[in-house]
Amino acid sequence: MRALTENSEETRMRVTREDVTRREVICFYAAYDCRKKKRSPPPDIDTWPWHDPDGLDQRLCESGLKKGILAAYLTWRLVKFSVADFLECAIVNQVFPRLPQALSQLVCAANWLSGCLTVRPIGGG
């Protein structure tokens, strides 16, 4: 698997915005996760300690949100991924035990496996 770095000629990922703040990332995540779980976002999110990663982790946890990485970084980059970038990503090995972790390799394995399957009509002959 190739590394996605700024200096790599193979990089297809494009940075569309620099300096996305920790607050923007966490507020977006909180709104998304709460909408997904059919809950209201934390009403006091504007008063969270945005300068303190540990305090943010505590507030995320108290609000039923995932803590850790989001609070760890002061700034982020907004990027666009191509399909090729996505296919270079890996998944945890528990999803498909004994198969490759790179999505591109899984897609190839799925195509190969689907060609090996035999479909038999039900009640036919």
State the SS3 of 22-59.
HHHHHHHHHHHHHHHCCCCCCCCHHHCCCCCHHHHHHH
Query: Is the distance from CB of 103 to CB of 85 less than 8 angstroms?
Result: no
User: Of how many residues is the chain composed?
Assistant: 125
CA pair distance 66, 77, nearest whole angstrom = 20
Q: Higher pLDDT residue, 122 or 44? A: 44
Q: What is the pLDDT of residues 61-99, one digit of tens each?
A: 999 999 999 999 999 999 988 877 877 777 776 766 777
d(CA 73, CA 71): 6
C-beta neighbour count of 7 within 10 angstroms = 6
State how far the Cα of 61 lies from the Cα of 54, in Å rounded to an integer: 11
Q: Are 30 and 65 in contact (CB under 8 A)?
A: yes
pLDDT at 59: 97
**Coil, strand, or helix at residue 14?**
strand
- Please report the pLDDT score of residue 89 as a whole number: 78
Q: Give the pTM.
A: 0.65
Residue 54 structure tokens: 């540990």
Sketch the domain layout of the chain as residue ranges: 14-80, 90-125
**From CA 106, how far away is CA 100, in angstroms rounded?**
6
